Structure 1
């Protein structure tokens, strides 16, 4: 398991990016649940954010690719709009406890 951060370092409605060895990933907290994905758009294989830790659209309800505007559901990673519609972000197993948010893959 790899510890990403303390639980209080990812607030409700917030997204953060991390690099673990060669793996770039993003985590989002929505309705108290933490979701983790590879930071890689399925359309072009490029990172999603336009600025550090900026992965969400203006409403903070969808993950957005800054390059082509593709929109992904936070809960599943499924692309619901844009050039990769029907594809999904690669989900990573994660868990949270009092000591941190962890990637378990």
Structure 2
């Protein structure tokens, strides 16, 4: 397991990008739960963020690709609208403890 960040560095209903050993990732916290994905849209293979750490749509309820507007469920990364509908983001196994958020990469 690799350390990603402390729990307080990822507020609820927010997202944050990371570069760990050259692998671009992002994490989203929703309702206290953390979800981590590889930062690559299944449609074009590009990063998803609008600006640094901005991976969510304006309502903070879906992950949104800045390039084509594809929308993904936060809970499982499934694309529910856009050019890659039916495809999914690549999930990164994670866990959170008192020290922070850890990933299995």
Q: Which runs of 5+ in 1 are unaligned?
A: none
Q: Residue 8 of structure 2: SS of its match in structure 1? A: helix
1:62 is matched with which residue? 62
Runs of 4+ in 1 over 3 A off after TM superposition: none
Shift of 1:39: 0.2
Q: Which runs of 5+ in 2 are unaligned?
A: none
Q: Deviations over 1:10-61 (max 9, x none)?
A: 1100100000112100000001100000000000000000100000000000
1:9 aligns with 2:9: yes
Shift of 1:69: 0.1
TM (norm. structure 1) is: 0.98
Question: In structure 1, what is the Cα distance between the partners aligned to 2:34 and 2:97?
Answer: 11
Q: How does 1:1-105 map to 2 (within 5 A)?
A: 1-105=1-105
Question: In structure 2, what is the Cα distance between the partners aligned to 1:91 and 1:72?
Answer: 12
CA RMSD of aligned residues (A): 0.6
TM (norm. structure 2) is: 0.98
Count matched residues. 105
Question: In structure 2, what is the Cα distance between the partners aligned to 1:48 and 1:25?
Answer: 10
Question: In structure 2, what is the Cα distance between the partners aligned to 1:22 and 1:6?
Answer: 20
Q: Residue 8 of structure 1: SS of its match in structure 2? A: helix
